[in-house]
């Protein structure tokens, strides 16, 4: 198995985490392990790393790929980060730094285990569950939700201008929509040509379905709050987001903590990838890093 995901804003994140070798760090979004392994390298045997991912395939990959590096001070847990508190109970010390690198990994997009995260994987079913134990797939949403609710979903979570038209067309053709390709072709038919920029017109619809299937925004809100409460004094919370809905939640949450005098904002200017990083890893283009330090 090869490593597919290139960690985004890696050196910036490591700098902001300000790792002390005996400290306790949590990577809430393990993915291909790119950030975790660099944190681990900076720890002494007394330091601790807890890495979490809700996708069992990410856990399986990292345990195999990094089998030589697995160590007593590195715990890897298959869990949603909204339940981070339950994993941390057994640790005697409070975390000095917590990282969230949100969204999907390149592995999930390219080797999805037939879950249809990417609008480019035409033959895959419309599943989109990062945690395969979740009950509702993307196709279930298309079937179960009435047209009006589907339209609201595309508008609210995809900021899709043609949400009404797309929802109507989906409900009229629902028996023929089973795969990624079925949905992307329908969106292509429905969205006026002028709206079809160089980016795939289905991307907003896919983002909206994925957010709802995985309850991403609620998990983020809960995960942020639990993470901040768990942090040690002077501990840092670093969050990398990839779209405006996530970023707004992070920004508002951080601003409230700063206003209430509970935290200091370390990223007065948002940290974004350099042109060089975007050139070598185009998927990093929309990344934004925000960091606070607990008082
Ligand atoms: C962008 S990738 C992280 C990549 C990783 N930093 C690396 O360098 O390889 C995001 C990962 O977070 C996981 N994830 C997303 N939301 C999650 C949540 N609420 N709880 C746990 N894991 C989550 C996804 O399954 C995915 O593997």
pLDDT at 28: 99
**169 CA from centroid of ligand 1 (Å):** 32
Summarize the confidence of residues 194-199 as an average pLDDT: 65
Pick from 33-47, 193-207, 250-264: least confident: 193-207
Query: Does pLDDT of 193 surpass 80?
Result: no
User: Which ligand 1 atom minimizes the distance to the CA of 35?
Assistant: 8
Summarize the confidence of residues 229-254 as an average pLDDT: 98
User: In a mutational test of the pocket of ligand 1, which residue from 54, 63, 99, 131 has the highest number of ligand atoms less than 8 Å from its CB?
Assistant: 54
Same fold, 10-108+216-294 and 135-213: no
Summarize the confidence of residues 206-221 as an average pLDDT: 98
Q: What is the pLDDT confidence band of residue 77, given thresholds at 50, 70 and 90?
A: very high
**130 CA from centroid of ligand 1 (Å):** 9
Superfamily of domain 135-213: Putative methyltransferase TM0872, insert domain (1.10.150.170)
* 14-71 tens-digit pLDDT: 999 999 999 999 999 999 999 999 999 999 999 999 999 999 999 999 999 999 999 9
Query: Does pLDDT of 142 surpass 90?
Result: yes
Give percent of the chain with pLDDT exceeding 70: 98
Tell whether residue 72 is among the known ligand binding residues.
Answer: no
Q: What is the pLDDT confidence band of residue 251, given thresholds at 50, 70 and 90?
A: very high
pLDDT at 197: 67
Q: CATH code for 10-108+216-294? A: 3.40.50.150
pLDDT at 192: 83
User: Which ligand 1 atom minimizes the distance to the CA of 242?
Assistant: 1
Q: What is the pLDDT confidence band of residue 82, given thresholds at 50, 70 and 90?
A: very high
**101 CA from centroid of ligand 1 (Å):** 6
Tell whether residue 34 is among the known ligand binding residues.
Answer: yes
Quote the CA–CA distance of 79 and 26 in Å, as a whole number. Answer: 13
Structural domain spans, the chain:
10-108+216-294, 135-213
User: In a mutational test of the pocket of ligand 1, which residue from 9, 40, 76, 130 has the highest number of ligand atoms less than 8 Å from its CB?
Assistant: 130
Ligand 1 pocket list (CB less than 6 A):
5, 7, 29, 31-35, 52-55, 58, 80-82, 101, 103, 105, 130, 219
Q: What is the pLDDT confidence band of residue 125, given thresholds at 50, 70 and 90?
A: very high
pLDDT at 199: 77
């Amino acid at each position: 198995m090869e490593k597919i995901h290139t960690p985004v804003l890696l050196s910036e994140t490591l700098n902001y985490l300000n790792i002390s070798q005996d400290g306790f760090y949590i990577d809430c979004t393990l993915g291909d392990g790119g950030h975790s392994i660099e944190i681990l390298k900076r720890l002494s045997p007394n330091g601790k790393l807890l890495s979490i991912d809700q996708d069992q395939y990410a856990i399986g990959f990292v345990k195999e790929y990094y089998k030589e590096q697995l160590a007593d001070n590195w715990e890897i847990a298959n869990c949603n980060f909204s339940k981070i508190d339950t994993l941390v109970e057994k640790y005697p010390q409070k975390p000095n730094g917590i990282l969230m690198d949100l969204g999907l990994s390149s592995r999930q997009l390219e080797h999805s285990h037939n879950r249809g995260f990417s609008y480019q994987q035409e033959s895959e079913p419309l599943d989109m569950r990062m945690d395969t134990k979740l009950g509702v797939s993307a196709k279930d949403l298309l079937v179960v939700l009435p047209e009006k609710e589907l339209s609201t979903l595309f508008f609210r979570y995809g900021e899709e201008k043609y949400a009404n038209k797309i929802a109507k067309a989906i409900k009229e053709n629902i028996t023929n929509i089973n795969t990624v390709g079925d949905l992307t072709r329908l969106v292509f038919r429905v969205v006026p040509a002028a709206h079809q920029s160089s980016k795939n017109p289905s991307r907003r619809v896919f983002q909206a379905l994925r957010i709802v299937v995985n309850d991403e925004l609620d998990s983020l809100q809960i995960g942020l709050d639990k993470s901040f409460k768990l942090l040690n004094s002077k501990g840092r919370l670093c969050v990398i987001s990839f779209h405006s809905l996530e970023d707004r939640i992070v920004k508002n949450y951080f601003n409230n903590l700063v206003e209430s005098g509970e935290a200091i904002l370390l990223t007065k200017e948002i940290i974004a990838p350099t042109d060089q990083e975007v050139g070598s890893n185009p998927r990093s283009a929309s990344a934004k890093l925000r960091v606070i330090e607990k008082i």
